[in-house]
Structure formats: structure tokens, C-alpha cells
Structure 1
Amino acid sequence: MESKKPTMKWATLLSLLSFWFLTVDSAIVSPRSSKGLLNRRKAISEELAPVLKRDSHHYQGQRKSASEDIVAPKSNIWSELTPTEINGVYKLIKEKFNLTDANDATLFDNYAVWIALINPNKTDALEYLDGNGPAPQRYARASIFFGGHDFAKDSEPDGYWQIYQIGPLPATENTEVVEMNWAYTQSTFPFAQGYRDDNRWILEDIFFEDLFQTNEVKAIVEDLIGGKSYGLEGSKMQLGSTDPLVYDRETKSVFSWGTVFLDNEWRAGDILPTGLFFKTNITGRDSSTFKVVLWVYNNVAYNSTEAFYEAWKSKSIFKLPQVSTNQNWTNPSRNGDSDTRLLDDRTSPIVIEPQGRRWQVNEKERYFTWMDWSFYISYNRDNGILFFDIKFKGQRILYELSLQEAIADYAGDDPFQVHTAFLDTSYGWGNNAYGLIPGYDCPANAAYFNGSWNAAGVNNFQNNTYCAYESMEDYPITRHTGRDYVSVSKAATFNIRFVATIGNYDYNFNYKFFMDGTLQVTVRAAGFIQGAYYNPYTAEPFGYKIHDTLSGSFHDHIINFKADFDIGGTKNRVSNTALKPATFVYPWDPDTEYNTKIKERTVFETETSLNMEDVGNLLIESADAKNKWGNPKAYRVYGSLGRRIAEPSQKLAENANWADQDIHFTKQKDSEFTSTGVFNANSVFSPQVNFQTFLDNENIDGEDVVCWFNLALHHLPTTQDVPGTIFTTANSEIVMTPYNYFDSEQSRDTRQQFLYLDRGGDPTTDLFGTQLQSMRYDISPLDFSSVNFAGIQQGKDMTNIPSL
């Protein structure tokens, strides 16, 4: 395909079997928490499925549509691949590469686990959206593991991963299948630094079950930790493993740092650490060659299992306090013994829509409109929801707004915390959205939409992955009192909310649209922390003691987004209007120096990275368009942005350079479509995407500019994080707001206003036709039939849109 450089978002890299298990019990499968119950997860899934599974076909017939449909001006060219497209792609590559179906494959087979849409080139997309150009052709990308002999490479004796581009679609026997070298820093990854898929985790688990049931290790852990050893019937022990893997470039050996947690009925292993750590050589595809090369307990290292056993046997080991068997404090739900707060037995307030919804959606195209806002939504495994063609009052503000990556980078006094730096896109955002709870995750008036992603050639669907709703802020958007009048306007907002659970954390993403053209993106985090064992001699610099044997390890969450602004078109620039002190002598008082303040505008001519404390009013401006008063049309960006506190380290090497500053501006390129990639998680020296290469000093003055911004949560857990972190304070946000973009403030045309006038005679009031009639509301109970934690539906789309 000639010069195809699409804006891409990755698809999914787990087999269908893996996803089924993942939805049943994420704590079991996700390497972000327990690896200990891999061999028992199938039994658990079969046990829970009849209880938790919901039939999307059944509920599709019961759902209600939004109050009014709307016709999308164009087709959604970013929509997920259809089952027909997926089937065609999978059939083609299965025959071409002799693939084994993923749920039957081993590490000695060839198998595909990700197939996803390649988003179209922006140039092609704009020709279609804004002119008479044809809809861009559709392409897919697929990630394949080659472990079989037929495509083996001498340089990669343990196999390798390769990313391919397939298209145009629909696929035929003549469809082009090419390596995607143009799209990434690299598209081929050796097994050693590749993805840790389910086959690889099971390989490690086989080794650990054997290890922990040897006489030596069993005796040690049952004495030091208590209870049955890992892998035995009734054992409460879990094994955790860090990201990224430790790769020795000289020996080409791969190591993993692990630890032992305790499990309980609340899957609270993350906050029940035991203080035992081990480093394992996991090089290759044969678990019989794996070996523990280091044990660490109470800050003492033992360079072999034999040395650890001899020290334990000689009673020279100082035994740390064990985790208490009384673990009721890990229950994240209501304590039944608690007193009821005054009047808390009454239902809390809810949002109602007296005359029905005030927003519209075309379900097929996922095209939304509300109060002069319009946009398309797409969905995929890597990013969850993505926004395209965001317009306000008919003018495009953003071509794309999308989540890219999130780092969870830990500090601590033990090797497990020190080596932990999760890159969460490797686990996936879209496939880890387990479903929103009506009336709790989103207000009672919200509508819910499903998400779909592909695994092993099959499309999967999950209910309630994101919601849409209108709400009211608890303040008016504007107010003014004059000598003879009062004018006040309501602050209605439209919200799209998406929640994904990556291991131990639930991330809440909210995109809020305001009446005046402002857009706010907020991230909140809740859930169990990844706790550390509290050692009173060494833990203090890294966290507080927050329970009997628990320390809250200091860590950063740095969440990266892409915002492709189009302010007055694609010719933009970045400027800073600094607010500075100054001394002035005025012509009307030439003998006096006045201390005052001024604005000072600076234009960034080349690609640049910034920290928000170093700038004043940071603007993305049109290079051509001005408002009525001669000011460049612009949007300002501000908020609680951030970056990682620790300097770049060996554990991430060339990965995640975007986290070094708060915000970056680059020239738009279809080949620089994303700041990250799934293989970045372990390929730290030669990552799939090296963001630093984006910043190559190109001109951005008068060019199509892309903004890459970070929301940050610098989390030093306290006792208020026990048992779980709360959304109240664990949050970060960015605001994008008009700045001389319009000729005046843009909420003045809303009818949601009150005007009181007293200019002689009888005072008057005007509600501009929005008077609320006195009535009692018949509010229906919340419908939880669409709540679906375990049942991933295959082959049929559905949307649950309740209506009040």
C-alpha cells in the first residue's frame, strides 16, 4: 500500500481463552496482581459464569433508544472492525502463516492474538470529512507470534513477534500483507523482550508450582509466611511479578523479580505482602531450565535456594512478623457493624431530565451531539474510547483526543517495588472495562454503550463499557448583578465516562464538555494499592506504615494523552503568554517609575517539551484565523499536569520518554500516531515506539501541531488508602478552553438563564421558556440487568440505552 501512514491504535494480544478468564477474575490473571491461581482459573470461571453472565441478545431486545435519533453527517471511518472484516483477515493470515488457533497454540506454534483497525491517514480523513473525497480504505493490523519451525529465524531461536498491515479490506487472497516497519521504531520483537502472553505466564507458573513444592522451599515459606505453600490445595499464597522483565543485553538472559502475597475472599493480595522476594532466570521456552538466582528476605540476599535453606535451617534468619489471619479490614464494601449516618438510609440525590434527554446519538456511527458540540467515538483494546472530529458550533477543535499510555512507577526498599514500572497499555484499556454500574459509576440518567475488541480472530463485546449523560455543575456558568437586575445562567455539561480496571486499580476517565466550548479531561484512580511489606529499619523514606505489616509504597501514575488540535484549520502554532512584573514610565507621568505587570508573548518555533510551572498561558493558536478584534483564534491548555518524579532509569531505559516533561508539541505525522506500543512494556532498550524520536526539532510554526499531555498522580499512600484509594483526592485534570477563539463568551445563547429586572413598576422575571412545571416525578428503579462482569459476548453488537 503506497505511503500508508495511518493513525493507529493497537488491538488485543490475548487469546479468546485468556479474555474469558480475564473477565471472570482479573486478580487471578493480571500480572499486575496475582499469578498464583493460573491453573485454577478455568474452574473458577466455569463456577461463576452461570451466576454472572448476561445474554446481550436478550437485553438488546429490551433496551430503549435515546429520545431522538440523529443522522451522522459522515460514516464513522474510525469504527471498530466488523466481524466480517475480522473473519476475512484472520482467514487470510491463518493460511499465509500456518497459524494455530490461539486457544490451542503453544509457544512452539505460530498464532495471532491481536487484530485491529488501522485508523486512516489524517489527510485522507479530512478530504472525506470536509470535502467530496471518498471514504478512506480500511486496513487492519495483526500481531503474530512465530514459534513454529516453518517461519523460524536463526537469530531468534525462541521465536519472535511480528506486526503486519493487511488491506485494503475486505480481505481476499490477493490482499497485501506487509510488515509495519514504517509505523514504529521497530515492528519485530524477540521472544525475550516480547509480550508476556498467557502461554508465557503459564510457563512461569509451572516452574513456580514445582519450586514452591520442593521440600526446601515448602519448609521455608510455610515457616516464614505461614499456611500451605503456593500451588497446594487450600494455599492462600499468591505470586506477583514485576514489569518490565530484566533483560541482560550481554548474555541475552531474561530475569523476573517476584514476591509472595496472601490471597483472601476480597482478592486483597496487593495489600497483604509477606516480605519474601526472589529473582528468577526465565530465559527461553523450557521451564525446566528456569532457576531462582536470588532470594531476598529482611534485606538479606541469598544467591541460591540452597543457601537460603541452609540459613533458615540454622535458624540464623530473623523472622519478620507474619500477616495477620484477621483480614476483615480488607473488605472494600460497607462494614455491617457500622452505625448509620444521620438520614443516610434515604436515597441520595439523582439527576432527572424533566422533558427528556437533551443530547442525541447515532448508535450505528457512534456520533454524538449536545448543545453545539459534536464528535465521533471509536473503541479498541489498547485505548478504550477515542474521540475524533470534535467540533463546537460547527468548527473543528480537535481531530483526535485519545488515551495513550499510563505508567505506574514504584519506589521502595525491596527489589519488587524497585523493579516495578508497569506500562498499562500492554494489558489493555478496552478489554479491561468490565462494565459500569448504573446509578453509581454514572448518574441515573446515563446511557450505556458497549465496547468491542478482537482476540484470536473473534470479536468480543462487553456491556456498559462507557456511558454518556448530561449533568449540572454545582455553580452557574456566569452571573452578574447590576443596579436593577440579576442575570444568572445554569452550567450544564455533557459527559463521556470510561472506567478500566488494570490489575489493582480502577481508572476513571471523564471527558466533560461545557456550554462555552471548554473541554475538561479528568483521570481518577481507586482500588487497592500495590503495598509493600513494612520494614521498620528501611521503609520510612518510601512510605508510611499504614497497617500491621503494610507500607504504602510511593509511586507515580503518569497518564499520557494525544490531543491533535485543529484551531481554525491545520495551520497552528504554540505560544506562551507570560504574565510578568515590569517597571513602566508613562508619558503622562514621565518622572515616576511604576511597578506593574505585563503580558509577554513567545512563539515556539520548533518541536518542544515543557513543564507547566515554566509557562503562563499556554496556547495552541491558528496561524491564519483571527477573531473580530484581531487576536489569533486559540485554545488555552492548563490544569494539574505532571511528570514522573524519578529520573529516567534502567528499568525503563528508552521507554516512556514522554513522561519526562508535562506536555509536548510535535508536528503531526501519520507515522507518529501513538506515543507507545504494547511491546514497550518489555522491549525497553529498543521499544516499539521511542517517543524521543518524535522530538527532532522540526518546525511547528504554522504547521499541524499535536499536543501530548500527561495527567499525573503522585501517590504517597496514607491510612486513608486502606483498604482502598478513593477518587476524591486521587485525580488530575487538564482544561482546554477558548482563548480569543470567539468574538465573545459563548454561553449567552443558552435558554437556561434567569433574568430579574426592576426598572420601575412591577419587577419581572424571565426564564426564557424553560419554566419547570410543578409536578411529582415517577422515577423507575435502576435497572442492573446489563451489569456484566463475566460474560464477554461474541459476534453481535449491542448497546444498552435506558431512558427515563
Structure 2
Amino acid sequence: LRLSLCLVLDQNYFSTSYLLPSTLFARDSRYNKQKKDMDKGSKARRQVGLWRTSTFVLALITLGLVVAVVFLATKESTPSTPTCGATPNSRKNKNTVDLSEPDNPGPFHDLTKHEMRQIRHFLEKHPTIHASPADTASIDKSYIYMMDLFPANKSDILAFLDNGRSQPARLARVILYRGDLVPPIVEEYACGPLPNVKNCDLIISDKRRNPIEFSLRPIGLMEFKAVYESVLEEVDRKIGYILRESYGTSYVNCKPSDCFRFYPSPVATNLVRDINKRRLWLWADYPVEYYVLHPVDFGVLANLDGSNPRAFTIDKLWYHGKLYNSAEELITFYNSSSESQKSRISKHTYSPNVFSTLNLRGNPQPSEPLRPPTQVEPDGKRYSLKYRKVDYLAWSFNFRMSALTGPVLNDIRFNGERIAFELGLAEIAVFYSGFNSLHRITDFVDSGALIGSHSKSLVPGGDCPESATFINQTFSGQAVAEPVELIRSFCLFENNNGYPLRRHLSYSQSEGAFYGGMLDSVLILRSVVTVVNYDYVFDFIFHQNGALETRVMSTGYIFPSFYTKDERPYGFKIEDNIIGNIHHHLFHFKADLDISGTSNRYETLNISSETVELRQVPGQLYNQIRYDPDLKRREKDALYKFNFDTPKYHVVHNDKKKTNFGEIKAFRIAINGMSKQLLPEGENSEGTLSWARHQLVVTKYKDNEQVSSSPYAMWDSYNPVTDFTKFYEDNESIIDEDLVFWINLGLHHIAHTEDLPLTPTPGNHLTFFLLPYNYFPECPSVVSRDHIRIQHQDLSHPEKGVQVERNGNTYDSCSLPTVAKEYDQQLEDNPDVILQSRKDMGIF
């Protein structure tokens, strides 16, 4: 623009400078008249020239301004720095992410949509199974409850992975509700080979019975539908007037936005002393965000025996601190009682400031909108993902989501060496206490609600970093024919933990004058399982030093009870009408380790004190600690209960593989998050989680001991379908065998006011680590380019300054991608990504 104006001014000057002053012609009178005439003409020409010049100048100025505006607009719309992941360095990045389903899935991959369709078609056409189509399924028919991968035998998979044998046939585990039979039962089938199913055979095992009593079936949508149509209609018909007078509403026959919601609590069969009795408490809550925090002092115990939903009925009732054996008994009491003997609660209504809502309230912090710190991947992703297999630096692993048990990892390797064949969640349990009849018997065992199907709708910036890769998961719905794809069931991301993986500073010259260190950047595979009110965050964390961390964090809403003075021993009063009941969270994990192969030993390094002679002072004694290796020879020798007085390391190794110095080449299991299960063995519902009796159990691998619990454990305490004690009661040798490590984590939770509205995760982190222990000759992170070294440029002349080595990493900056904006747009287009809006998924 400046150049254009200069040119305009120069042209204007030269266009007028040829008109000489009139005084040059004064000497010659003969030219006076001509001069006058010429002056007139010159004046006219000057005026025309000035107008032309002015027009030309204005045109050039306009053109220059247009160019300037376009330039500035283009400059504003084009970032001065590239978007993170699109830097010059990222062009060298060969990592890719492929989220598609494979045409030929491997031995660990979840069932594909095509396989699920083929299974359903086969079972609907089967001459003796006659599975009902999804749109006509009901509890009194034969219908498909669940499909899941049924893993092949480990030896066959290893032969495929390690020895080039053909891949073993893929099979599906299918749970069928046979409400059409007399008596009704639950059946489990192994269907295959996939995808072209030819057979569905009953699964036979000496570790769990099959078929299973119908009374032990996992909770399902069909049953809840029947509960509404039978039990709750009966409640409203008989005592609806009591509920409306006491609480202002009922379960049914009211505005949907006003009706009670019910919280289901199964009654284990050992509590009713009959394997064929099925009882379910339905506690009444106001439909206010979040309903579980708005209970009233009323509940229904439903009798759900058999498969005829029309026969479901009221068993007992809880009203105003007292248990009633029938609706008629409650009616008699109510009609004959004074007003002071009746329950009266003002109906709860929604307000943005209600304590249980998740709305921003109070004085916002910070006072002005300032976005929180975020993580970026300046040169793109440092991991690859294809067909559920991940490669990250030296790590590789496969992952899937079991509908029954949740997240599972397989074939975990570091530098190509297998560390674990399988690592995954086996079970979640929560046992409550209370005075009222519901909390007193509430013993949740969550595989009975299909743990894996509750992981969905992860939010970038809320549940996972915005840079994460989000992975969908497909399940078979109970009420829809087509496979259900749940959006964002996993997220995968690299995370800078913000603290060093290792570091050291030798500041003074006498100590060497150098610095070396690196931050702990890790890869995390995350799923968040929401089972009704509680949210469990499961992380598998891969460190660059060869350590593998498994972490679970508890958050979500507590499950409180209606406050009465009788509830005081079981919790604090935390709001007007509720106490936060004490409860115990338990998590069971399976770790099938293969350290330098499948021939492994488990030993503890027992730490103790000893008294020795203090040599420099003869006769004086000195106390110090030492360790002694203790090889565990049989399964019962390896049953471990934590004892603070006997500290120890737990190590796993192959006795034929030693270090260069003849020492064990091992991995160590470090458990941080143990809690003691205090209930007496074999009493009440304790038998259904016998796996919680020990913090660590080691068993010899067997193909028929796939998981320590079962989806029937919510109900089956009278005679558990899977009794974990049978895994080790034969007391087999565990020396130089293929070993499985069963790890138990847990915490007791006495709820408090800061658990409102949600339980925060700090203080609720439970972890265990698989740590290399003499496995590598040195820390394998020494190869990492993340390392920073600083030393003097010239050791002889430190005054010359220092040099920083960043191992090829550049200083290039990048701009943030617009992930949050794109996510919000996705929700506008498809709200079912986060909340049930337009689709019926056919699952909880």
C-alpha cells in the first residue's frame, strides 16, 4: 500500500512539472497575448489534468485498500502456526489410527456386527431353541439376553501367535432366557464357528453349572417392563392413595415427569434360603436430578418367581420405618392411624440450585472464563491403532470390551516379549449396610448387570483429554434386532503425568555438574463404567520404563437412604432427608502373566529385621532389615492376606531365564489399594464373592477357569454358579507352571457432605503395578527421546556455559485443534452420542 501511494505522488509531480512559470516569457512582448491565451488554455488543461490525476490517485488508493483488506482477512483466517499434529515434524510420523471392523477378526477381537447378525439368525431358526425375534421377545419366551466372545483355548491361540499355526475358530458365548420351558431356565451356549455358525452347544464345565436356575438370571429390560405392568400397577391399585397422600405421587398413573422412579436392589437367594425364589426391592425416589438422592421412606419387595409376568406380585412393603407383610396389612395400619403416625414429605421438584444437580452454582471460579490446561500432540500421535491392536513405542497389546466383565487386554508385549497373555476386570461388587430393609440386604455384584455395556458416551475434555482417540463398541441389545453400537466406549491417549519418570541433578562441579531427566509420559486406555449411580474409571497405563499400571477410580452418585434416627450407625446425615450409608467397594482383576514364557514361578521376598554385631564396636549389637526368598509350591501356599507386620515383594519369573549375573529375571506385582473383607465366610451373601477373601490368589492356568465370578452372582449366594474357592481347592503345584494371578482391590466408603453432588476421585485411586524386576539390564527408558540432558559445553571451562540435548525434538509451536467445537457440533447432529434421545438401544 505504501509503494502504491509513493508511485501516485511521483506521477502527480511529473505530470505537472512540465508547465513552466509565465515569468519566463516576460521579455518578449510579442508573446504577451499568446501568453495570456496559453495561460487560459494551460489553466483549463491543468484543471482537467488535476481531475484525471485525482481520479487515478483515488482508484489506486481504493485498489490498495482492497488488496490490504484481502491480505489482512487472509492473514486472520490462516494460522501463523500449523495445527498440532500437522507440524513439519509430523510428516515423518508413520503412526495411523484405523477404527474400522476387520473382515477377518483375530482371536481377541470382540464380536463384529456381522457375526452378531449371523448368530441371531441361526438361533431364531434353531429347531429346539426358537429364539424370539427382538420385537416380540418377552420374559416368558425364549430370547437372547447377551452375546460375548468365547475365547479359544490359550494353547491354540499361542500356537497361532508364536508358531504360525492356523487361527483357532472364533466362538460366541450366548446367554439365552428360556422362559418358554417348564420349569424355565437360563442356558449358555458356545456358538460357532464364526461368522458362518453351524452349531450352538451347551457350555459344559466342572467349574460352573449349566443350565442355571431361572431365578438367578441377570436383570434385564424385559423384566423391568413386566415389573411396571404387574407389580407397580398392583401397588398403585391397592395403596396408590397412601402414596399420593404421603408423598404427592405414585409409581404409575401419573405424569411421567412426576412419577416415582424406582431403584432396584436384588435380594440374594441365601437370604431367603431358597435357590428358586427371586425377590427384588423397588425403592421409591422422586424424579429430580439425580433421583437416587431423593428417596422417600417407602419401598416394595417384588415377588418375581417363575416366567409368567402376570404372576409377579407384591411380597412385602416398607413404609415409614416399618416392614409390612402385605398391602392389606399396610392399609389397615394406615386407615387406623393418626396423622402423626403417617409419613408426610413435601414433593421434591427440580430447580437448577437443588443440591443433587450438576449445574454450576455459587460464585464461579475463576471469576472470568479461563480455560483449563490442556494437552496436545504437537507432532501427531505416537501410537498406532488398527483392529483393536495398539502399538506404542516399545509396547503392543490388543483390547476388547466384554459385555459381562468389562475391559480386557490380551497379548501385552514390551520390545516384542510377551509380559501378559490376559489382563482384565473380572468383577465389581458393592456391599451396603443400613437399618431399613433395602440397604440392609443390598449386595451388588455388577456382572449381573452386564458391566461392559455400561461404558459409553465418553466426553472429550470431561472424561478424557481432547486429543484422545475415541473407540465405539458393539453389543447385542435385548430389545432390538440389530447390533447396538455404543459411541465412545473407550478412549486412548498419551498423557504427560506432569512428574518425572526419573531424574537427577548434580549441581556442583565436585559431583559432576550435570542434569538428566524426563517426564513420565504414558499411554492410557480408559473406559468408564456407569452402573446406575456409580461411575468407575478403569485405566490401563503403559509407562516407558516397562511398568504397566492398572487403576480404578470411583465417582458418581452415592446410594443414600431416607434419614431416620435408626440409620445413625450406618452413616452421617448429609441432607434434610438422607444419610450416606457405609458401603464396601471391591474390584477383582485377572492377570495371566507369561514372564519369559508360560513356565513361571511365584515367590515372595519376605522382609524382616535381624540383629547383627556392630563390627566397629565389638560386642555391640545392631538392628537392620533383610529379605529371604520364599518359593510358593502349591496354590494354597500362595493365598495371600495382607499383614502389615510381614512386608514382602511378590515376584514372578521363569527359573530357566536368568540375568547376566545369575539372578531371577522377573516382574513384580505391587498392590496399592487393598482392603479387608470383614464379613464372616459363608454367611449371607459372602459366598458369592469368595474371591474377596484374599488380596492375591495364584492358580495354575486352566481353560475352564476363565473368570472368578458369573453374571448370576447378584442372586446366587445360596449355591454360587461359580465358586472361586474351587479354583485352588485342588491345591495343584504352581512351580514352573502357567500361572494366573487374581488381584483384589477395594475401599470402604463412609459418605460425607463433600460427596454431594458427586463423589470426587481424589483419595479413591486403587492401583496395582506390574513392574520389571531385574528383567532388563537397565531401565529401558534410556532409549527415550523424551530425555533431557544438560551439561557444560567444556568441562574444563564451565564458565563458557551449558548445552542442552533434546535428542532431535524441535522447538516448533502449533495451534490447538478445535475439538470441543467439533464435538458440540456432533451432539447437535446426533444427541444420542451423549444422551438417549432418538434411538432405542435395547440396553440399560
> Given the two structures, how large is their TM-score scaled by the length of structure 2?
0.80
Matched, 1:403 2:425: yes
Q: Cα deviation per residue 1:660-701 (whole Å; 9 max; x = unaligned)? A: 222211111111011122122223333332211111211112
- Match of residue 449 from structure 1: 471
- Match of residue 379 from structure 2: 355
Distance 1:278 1:85, change over 3 A: closer
Q: How does 1:230-629 map to 2 (within 5 A)?
A: 230-233=252-255, 235-246=258-269, 248-249=272-273, 252-264=276-288, 266=289, 268-316=290-338, 318-320=341-343, 322=345, 325=348, 328-336=353-361, 338-342=362-366, 345-361=369-385, 363=386, 365-455=387-477, 458-482=482-506, 483=511, 484-536=513-565, 538-585=566-613, 591-607=619-635, 608-613=638-643, 615-629=647-661
Asked if the contact 2:445–2:714 (Cα under 8 Å) also holds between the matched residues in 1, the reply is yes
Q: How does 1:95-110 map to 2 (within 5 A)?
A: 95-96=125-126, 97-110=129-142
Counterpart Cα distance in 1 of 2:131 and 2:196: 17
Matched, 1:719 2:740: no
> Given the two structures, how large is their TM-score scaled by the length of structure 1?
0.84
Greater Rg over alpha carbons, structure: 2
Distance 1:570 1:231, change over 3 A: farther
Match of 2:348, SS state, is coil
Matched, 1:115 2:147: yes
Counterpart Cα distance in 1 of 2:94 and 2:530: 31
Asked if the contact 1:294–1:302 (Cα under 8 Å) also holds between the matched residues in 2, the reply is yes
Asked if the contact 2:233–2:252 (Cα under 8 Å) also holds between the matched residues in 1, the reply is no
Counterpart Cα distance in 2 of 1:757 and 1:251: 73
CA offset at residue 246 of structure 1?
4.1
For 2:796, the aligned partner's letter is G
Asked if the contact 1:448–1:468 (Cα under 8 Å) also holds between the matched residues in 2, the reply is yes
Match among 166, 171, 189 for residue 191 of structure 2: 166
CA offset at residue 329 of structure 1?
2.4
Match of 2:602, SS state, is strand
Matched, 1:68 2:101: no
For 2:131, the aligned partner's letter is L
CA offset at residue 186 of structure 1?
0.7
For 1:89, the aligned partner's letter is I
Distance 1:69 1:183, change over 3 A: farther
Match of 2:691, SS state, is helix
Match among 88, 96, 114 for residue 84 of structure 1: 114
Q: Cα deviation per residue 1:436-461 (whole Å; 9 max; x = unaligned)? A: 11122111211111111223663221
Matched, 1:176 2:208: no
Match among 734, 741, 744 for residue 768 of structure 2: 734
Counterpart Cα distance in 2 of 1:670 and 1:180: 12
Distance 1:281 1:326, change over 3 A: closer
Counterpart Cα distance in 2 of 1:792 and 1:732: 37
- Match of residue 47 from structure 1: none
- Match of residue 158 from structure 2: 126
Distance 1:585 1:231, change over 3 A: farther
CA offset at residue 227 of structure 1?
3.5
For 1:735, the aligned partner's letter is F
CA offset at residue 491 of structure 1?
1.5
- Match of residue 675 from structure 1: 708
Asked if the contact 1:534–1:550 (Cα under 8 Å) also holds between the matched residues in 2, the reply is yes
Match among 216, 222, 229 for residue 199 of structure 1: 222
Q: Cα deviation per residue 1:215-262 (whole Å; 9 max; x = unaligned)? A: x51232223323356442353322222124546455944333332111
Q: How many residue pairs were aligned?
A: 715
Match among 651, 666, 687 for residue 720 of structure 2: 687
Aligned sequence identity (%): 22
- Match of residue 27 from structure 1: none
- Match of residue 52 from structure 1: none
CA offset at residue 75 of structure 1?
6.5
CA offset at residue 548 of structure 1?
0.3
Distance 1:752 1:254, change over 3 A: closer
Which of the pair is proportionally richer in helix?
2
Q: Cα deviation per residue 1:478-531 (whole Å; 9 max; x = unaligned)? A: 111222112222221111111121111121111111110111111112211111
Distance 1:272 1:692, change over 3 A: same
Asked if the contact 2:785–2:809 (Cα under 8 Å) also holds between the matched residues in 1, the reply is no
Counterpart Cα distance in 2 of 1:792 and 1:403: 32
Counterpart Cα distance in 2 of 1:609 and 1:511: 25
CA offset at residue 629 of structure 1?
2.3
Counterpart Cα distance in 2 of 1:106 and 1:281: 18
CA offset at residue 360 of structure 1?
1.6
Counterpart Cα distance in 1 of 2:647 and 2:106: 37
Counterpart Cα distance in 2 of 1:329 and 1:654: 40
For 1:592, the aligned partner's letter is Q
Asked if the contact 1:410–1:417 (Cα under 8 Å) also holds between the matched residues in 2, the reply is yes
- Match of residue 25 from structure 1: none
Q: Cα deviation per residue 1:67-123 (whole Å; 9 max; x = unaligned)? A: 623899x96321122333333332322222222213302233222232222111111
Counterpart Cα distance in 2 of 1:290 and 1:356: 58
Distance 1:709 1:250, change over 3 A: closer
Q: Cα deviation per residue 1:572-619 (whole Å; 9 max; x = unaligned)? A: 122111221111237777633221111122122111321234542122
Asked if the contact 2:264–2:283 (Cα under 8 Å) also holds between the matched residues in 1, the reply is yes
Q: Cα deviation per residue 1:197-227 (whole Å; 9 max; x = unaligned)? A: 222222222223322322x512322233233
Distance 1:498 1:628, change over 3 A: same
Distance 1:290 1:466, change over 3 A: closer
Asked if the contact 2:356–2:756 (Cα under 8 Å) also holds between the matched residues in 1, the reply is no
- Match of residue 738 from structure 2: 704
Matched, 1:743 2:751: no
Asked if the contact 1:329–1:723 (Cα under 8 Å) also holds between the matched residues in 2, the reply is no
Counterpart Cα distance in 2 of 1:147 and 1:229: 27
Which protein has greater RCO, CA pairs closer than 8 Å, 6+ apart? 1
Distance 1:200 1:333, change over 3 A: closer
Asked if the contact 1:209–1:231 (Cα under 8 Å) also holds between the matched residues in 2, the reply is no
Asked if the contact 2:571–2:580 (Cα under 8 Å) also holds between the matched residues in 1, the reply is yes
CA offset at residue 765 of structure 1?
2.0
Counterpart Cα distance in 2 of 1:574 and 1:794: 49
Asked if the contact 1:570–1:703 (Cα under 8 Å) also holds between the matched residues in 2, the reply is yes
CA offset at residue 794 of structure 1?
11
Q: Cα deviation per residue 1:696-718 (whole Å; 9 max; x = unaligned)? A: 21111211111111221321110
For 1:377, the aligned partner's letter is F
Counterpart Cα distance in 2 of 1:200 and 1:324: 28
Match of 1:747, SS state, is helix
CA offset at residue 535 of structure 1?
0.8
Matched, 1:756 2:786: no
Asked if the contact 1:583–1:595 (Cα under 8 Å) also holds between the matched residues in 2, the reply is yes
Q: Cα deviation per residue 1:733-785 (whole Å; 9 max; x = unaligned)? A: 11221111112222211121222223222233232434442545254342215
Asked if the contact 1:396–1:567 (Cα under 8 Å) also holds between the matched residues in 2, the reply is yes
Q: Cα deviation per residue 1:398-434 (whole Å; 9 max; x = unaligned)? A: 1111111100111111110111111111212332122
CA offset at residue 352 of structure 1?
1.4
For 2:317, the aligned partner's letter is W
For 1:129, the aligned partner's letter is L
- Measured on the aligned residues, the alpha-carbon RMSD in Å equals 2.8
